[in-house]
């Protein structure tokens, strides 16, 4: 099916199978971690870089079920902040890689120009 073909049936939203408490979003955080290559250590680094003093214990508390003694509820605001911090860190890394690649390519051009201007015998 291409982007222009009409789907065989109309889109429908899936039914809500659980009550959603915006103060207890650990289940969604766990699902995000399972569905992506997101590493909790990367999340911690992103949070620290954005000025959030988060500990490994707190990160772990978001990854366990609510029956665990280490459980601490994660709010929807915290979940959003976590994801936005990771996005910002990934953007900074990508920009740094692009800048380094550009600097390296400029360095190669400069080196090529220098080689051309060397006196030849």
Give the pLDDT mean for 14-41: 91
Q: In this structure, is the dihedral angle defined by the CA atoms of residues 14, 84, 88 and 33, taken in order, positive or negative?
A: negative
Count CB-CB contacts under 10 A for residue 85.
Answer: 22
**Torsion 41-45-66-20 (CA) sign:** negative
State pLDDT tens for residues 53-101.
999 999 999 999 999 999 999 999 999 999 999 999 999 999 999 999 9
| Residue appearing with tokens 């680094």 | 45
- Reply yes or no on whether the pLDDT at 109 is more than 60: no
pTM, two decimals, is 0.73
Mean pLDDT over each residue of the chain, to the nearest integer: 87
């Amino acid at each position: 099916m291409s982007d222009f073909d009409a789907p065989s049936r109309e889109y429908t939203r899936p039914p809500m199978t659980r009550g959603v408490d915006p103060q207890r979003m650990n289940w969604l955080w766990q699902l995000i971690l399972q569905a992506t290559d997101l590493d909790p250590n990367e999340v911690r680094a992103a949070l620290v870089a954005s000025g959030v003093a988060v500990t490994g214990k707190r990160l772990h508390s978001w990854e366990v079920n609510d029956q665990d003694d280490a459980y601490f509820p994660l709010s929807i605001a915290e979940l959003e902040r976590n994801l936005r911090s990771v996005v910002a860190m990934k953007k900074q890394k990508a920009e740094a890689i692009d800048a380094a690649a550009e600097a390296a390519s400029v360095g190669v051009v400069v080196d090529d120009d220098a080689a051309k201007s060397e006196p030849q015998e």
